[in-house]
Amino acid sequence: MRPVYAVTGGVSKFAKARPDRTFQALVKEAYDYALKDIGLEPRQANDLVDGTVGSYFSDHFQRQLMSAIMVQDYLGLVPKPGHRVEGGGATGGLCFQEAWKAVAGGDMDVCLAYGFETMSHVQTWKGNEFIALASDVSFDYPVGGFYSGYYAMMVTRHMKEFGTTVEQMAHVSVKNHINAIYNPYAQKHLRITIRDVREAPVVAWPLTRLDICTMSDGAACAILASEEGLARIEKAAGRSLPKVRVTGIGRGTDAMRMADRPHQSFEDFYRYNALPNEQDADSRAYYKDLWDRGFRYPGVHSFRAGRMASRQAYQRAEVTDPLNQIDFVELHDAYTSSEIQTYEDMGLCRYGEGGRFAESGLAFMPGIEYGLDLPQRPKCSVNPSGGLIACGHPVGASGLMQAVFAIWQLQGAIGRHFGNDRLQVRGARRGAIHSHAGTGTYVTVSILEKED
């Protein structure tokens, strides 16, 4: 495998509806931004790009099959190679990794990964129906298919097993919404409190409207390159560019039906799923005690796919202690509850500790006033951008939006792109992005690092 650099990226403004642009033009908005940032004209860039990977989740939202080729021709990138990837909410993360593979494997020197979703083309309730079609249409969808309902069932079990509280979940909502106040790309700019979250209308008990991300229109893209490709881009740009390298990718999967999730033994958990930072005697004793009290893995409260993706990515990027070795994480917080579940999957804390981790302060941004009494100082900021909850979740774009924000963090360029540097993670050297589908069916984790 060759080293792969994430050279530049762009994000369109995410909004509830963007009737001013078709999906092709939304992607162009993101692409033009990415090129402008490195000082390239479209004609120069199109000469350098060897091919593309396109990402969008649902054909239903556009009522248009083969949308990706329409983007590629709109950008002027035909007849170069290209294809579309799809994997639910993880579509953007998968797209980023497919582009990585194209470059790492030597097929391309410069690959454009782009993604979009235009969810405003149907009304919210119809959109919920489309999304719920990403559950088994024989056994799950007809029972009352609704993703917020599925996630609510998962967190209800998390609460029962571990004592996780709705206030702990609300901490995630407050953190991500208040971070997003400083991110001009975010769909929502709300200064909210724990009480606001709990007093918002209940969508699926115990999740309220402020525990859940919204549907959006939006696009994002990133350009990945080999050393040779980067050198060519730098030559065309006439200057040296900051180096951000993708040092590891990982993926995992799990059964479509939540009902099918297994209940593994303690021994199997340690054989297949435990992370390097969980090998010490203290962790083993902690988990042994959980199993003795009836805990089974992954059950419906944990995402085995997220754990496997983290494990693989960490192994490749040589991360052995994620909380101390990763400076920030942009993770798939479609629900506040899933951010808590993902802290555990990614090993930022142990399974069962996610609720307490959420209110500890460790995942917050330094120097931002949240109106909360946080016992600990920030250590690894999670969703400094505001995450999906506040930025919006145009499915095929979300995983790439995370990549763009991570590139900007590692370039130290947040101030330039956001117009203020409140969300710049100081001295950021290593970040992780996490993209997640279904009820945890496909999950991707990619590690990006600043290279001197």
Partner 1 sequence: MENHDIPTRPEETLDGTVVFNVPFPKDLKDLAGMAPVIVKQPYHIDYIHSYGQDSPFFAGLANRRLLGSRCTACGHTFGTPRMSCMACGGDCEWVELPQEGRVHTFTVCHFGSEEFLPECPYVLALVEFEGVDTLFLTRLLGVDPARPSLDWIGMKVRAKFRRLSRFKPTDVWFVPA
Binding stretches for partner 1 (CB under 8 A): 19-20, 63, 123, 125-126, 128-129, 131-132, 137-140, 142-146, 148-150, 152-154, 156-157, 159-160, 201-207, 255, 257-263, 300
Minimum CB distance to partner 1 smaller for 63 or for 235: 63
**Cα separation, 397 vs 218, whole angstroms:** 7
Minimum CB distance to partner 1 smaller for 206 or for 412: 206
Characterize the bridge pairing of strands 297-298 and 263-264: antiparallel
Q: How far is the CB of 157 from partner 1 (least distance, A)?
A: 4
Of 200, 222, 218, whose CA–CA distance to 393 is shortest? 218
Q: How far is the CB of 148 from partner 1 (least distance, A)?
A: 7
Minimum CB distance to partner 1 smaller for 79 or for 144: 144
- The count of other CB atoms within 10 Å of the CB of residue 240 is 9
Q: How far is the CB of 358 from partner 1 (least distance, A)?
A: 18
Q: Are 423 and 320 in contact (CB under 8 A)?
A: no
Minimum CB distance to partner 1 smaller for 258 or for 362: 258
Minimum CB distance to partner 1 smaller for 153 or for 374: 153
Minimum CB distance to partner 1 smaller for 4 or for 443: 443
Q: How far is the CB of 418 from partner 1 (least distance, A)?
A: 28
* Helix ranges, 134-212 (H): 141-144, 147-162, 166-180, 194-199
Omega before 298 within 30 of 0, i.e. cis: yes
**Cα separation, 326 vs 305, whole angstroms:** 20
Residue found under tokens 């942009």: 330
- Range list of β-strands (E), 4-64: 4-11, 51-55
User: What radius of gyration, in Å, describes the C-alpha atoms of the chain?
Assistant: 20
Q: How far is the CB of 296 from partner 1 (least distance, A)?
A: 10
Q: 147 to each of 108, 136, 185, 288, 318, how far by Cα in Å?
A: 37, 12, 25, 32, 35
The torsion angles phi and psi of 253, rounded to 5 degrees, stand at -140, 165
Q: How far is the CB of 302 from partner 1 (least distance, A)?
A: 13
Minimum CB distance to partner 1 smaller for 81 or for 149: 149
Q: How far is the CB of 400 from partner 1 (least distance, A)?
A: 25
